[in-house]
Each structure stands twice: as C-alpha cells, then as structure tokens.
Amino acid sequence: MNTLPPDAAVLPSLKGRIETNAALGPLTWFRVGGPAEYLVKPASAADLAQFLRALPGDVQVTVIGAASNLIVRDGGIAGVVIRLARGFSAVTVEADGIVCGAAALDATVAEHAAAAGLGGLEFLCGIPGSIGGAVAMNAGAYGSDVAACLDWAEIVTRTGEQVRLPAADLHLSYRHSNLPAGAVVTRVRLRATPGDARLIASRMAEIREARGATQPVRARTGGSTFANPPGMKAWELIDGAGCRGLKRGGAQVSELHCNFLLNTGEATAADLEGLGEEVRRRVAAATGVTLDWEIKRVGQPTGRPEVVA
C-alpha cells in the first residue's frame, strides 16, 4: 500500500479532526505501540463517507475502536487510521431494543438497557470495548454474543457508500463477521426484551463480580488473547502447557487468568506479541492444538519479535 506525504493537507477535507504522526499507544488498553501516520476522527457518518470516497484507493486504511483487544506494533501504522469518537456514541432506547453509535462502549449500552428494563444485553457489561468492534468480531461472553441480539448494522464502505446491513448479511459466527473489506461500522440496532429491571441489574452485578474475580481488569491488558478452540478452553491449554506467569521483557501471561497478557509497566508491542507467539508454540508442542489470536495485531514491527528462551 502507498502512504501519503507528511502533510495532512493532501488528505480529503473533513469536518472532524486529522492528526499527523499521532500517538496511538496511549489510546490502547495495553499502552504500547507506535504512531499513526494520520489519525482521522470524522464528525459523522456522512463526513466519513465523503472522506473515504475522495481518499485514493491505494491508501492503507486501518480502523480502531476502543482498542481494548488491539496490539499496535512498535513501528506504528502507515496511511490513515480511523477512530470514531463523539459523533458516534449516542445511545437511543426503544421499546424492544437499543440503537447506538459504534463508539458507544459495550458496558454503557448494557447500562442504558438495564435502566430501561430491557433484558438480553447484560452480557455486554462484561466485554471491554465499543459496539463497533463487538459487531466486527461478534464479541460474546457470559452465555451470549452479538449474533444473538443484532438486528442491523450501518456501515460506510471503503469506497464511501453508506449501507444498512441486516444481521443475516454479516454471517456472524464465533468471533467473526463477514463485514465487507475496509468497511467501518457506524451504528447498530440491538434487540432486547422488556423485563424486570431489578433482575436485569442483579444479573449485571453478577457478571461484573465474576469478571473482577477471574480477570486482571485493573492491569494494562487486552481482552482474551486467543479464541477458544472448538470444545476447549484456551486458558486451560495455556495453563497445561506451563505458561501461567511466563514473561518476556515487560510482558507477562496473567497468573489470574492465563488467556490474558499483561504489560507490567515497560513492555513493548514486540514483547507482548512475541510472548503470545511463544505461548502458541508451547501449546502446540504440548497438545497439538494451534491457538488462533483473538487480539488483533496491526502496524509495522521495528524488528522481528523474539520468542521466549
């Protein structure tokens, strides 16, 4: 992919903001990674659409959300990085569902539903990240997932078309959706069922308590590192391969839940990714199972990630 000259003036016009050589590490939950050549924050879906229509097709475009399940490599990301912000965070409560912008946090959507006495979305309070990312990867936990409640998703395609897709068109499966390549989710509708607000709130409290007791929620971490293989739990395979607490530089496999990687304070993206690859190697050697990354890794490394000795 081509990159652009170091002058944001060459980009199409935008009502939102464009930052050049923008730091991405502070935006990620791991707090690591290099800069974006251009960080684009559109003001609205229409603003995004006109920007992408005018952007040359050979310019690399990367979309990030709350960056809770993301490792930005140390060399940063060339081209345009799109991050939806204020103009995409509205949440509207309807009689039997929620319409929300893609930048709305999963937990915020769950809270709006609970306050309105709408059930079926409680699981979202246990998933870090934003709704756009949840749709893109069919996020799920605590007995449900986005596939169980999504009515439709509005997207902007890489060529700048605004389209509303019914959930069936996304062919949602375990941690996967068939979004068109380069598409940006901008708004969605989630089905919900009227219920007892007290019971809904109680279920959310149970989820939060369970998450706090079993996951390193106060650490510099991401979501689950690896997807669960069919009929198995990734954490059990990692634990069985002797990887609990394993370290590489400032990165460590969590001792509380070993399907989480931690930045203990001084980790680089290469430390985290290299540690993850070492975990995959050890699990494959011990069990014959190859773990698939659930955390996305984007951008350019500054060098080849080493494996743990």
CB 37 within 8 A of CB 55: no
Can you give the pTM of this predicted structure? 0.92
Fold for the domain defined by 8-86? 3.30.43
- Does 254 score more than 90 pLDDT? yes
Q: Say which CATH class 220-298 falls into.
A: alpha beta
Residues of the chain with CATH 3.30.43.10: 8-86
* Helix or strand (DSSP H, E) at 261: strand 261-263
Q: What is the pLDDT of residue 304?
A: 64
Structure tokens at 301: 């490394």
Q: What is the pLDDT of residue 2?
A: 46
CB 76 within 8 A of CB 37: yes
Q: Which of 154, 273, 278, 294 is catalytic?
A: 294
Cβ burial 231-252 (10 Å sphere, 16+ → b, else e): eeebbebbbebebbebebbbbb
- Does 240 score more than 50 pLDDT? yes
Residue 52 CA to residue 262 CA, distance in Å, equals 35
Distance between alpha carbon 53 and the CA centroid of its chain, in Å? Answer: 25
Q: What is the pLDDT of residue 223?
A: 87
Q: What is the pLDDT of residue 307?
A: 60
Dump pLDDT digits (tens) for 99-136.
999 999 999 999 999 999 999 999 999 999 999 999 99
Q: Which of 73, 224, 273, 282 is catalytic?
A: 224
**CATH of span 88-214:** 3.30.465.10
Q: What is the pLDDT of residue 305?
A: 63
CB 67 within 8 A of CB 23: no
Mean pLDDT of 283-293: 98
Q: What is the pLDDT of residue 309?
A: 45
Q: What is the pLDDT of residue 303?
A: 74
Query: How is 52-89 classified by DSSP, letter by letter?
Result: HHHS-TTB-EEEESS-TTEEE-TT-EEEEEEE--GGG-
Q: Please name which of 237, 299, 244 lies closest in space to residue 268, comparing C-alpha atoms.
A: 299
Cβ burial 285-303 (10 Å sphere, 16+ → b, else e): eebeeebebbbbbbbebee
CA neighbours closer than 13 Å in the CB half-sphere of residue 173:
4
Dump pLDDT digits (tens) for 55-113.
999 999 999 999 999 999 999 999 999 999 989 999 999 999 999 999 999 999 999 99
Q: Look at the alpha carbons of 50, 54, 57, 60 in this order and tell me if their dihedral is positive or negative.
A: negative
Category of 142 on φ-ψ map: left (φ > 0), alpha (ψ -120 to 50) or beta: left
Whether residue 224 lies in the annotated active site:
yes
Q: Which of 53, 175, 244, 281 is catalytic?
A: 175
Dump pLDDT digits (tens) for 1-35.
445 554 555 799 999 999 999 999 999 999 999 99
Residues of the chain with CATH 3.30.465.10: 88-214
Whether residue 31 lies in the annotated active site:
no
Residues of the chain with CATH 3.90.78.10: 220-298
Whether residue 294 lies in the annotated active site:
yes
Dump pLDDT digits (tens) for 169-208.
999 999 999 999 899 999 999 999 999 999 999 999 999 9
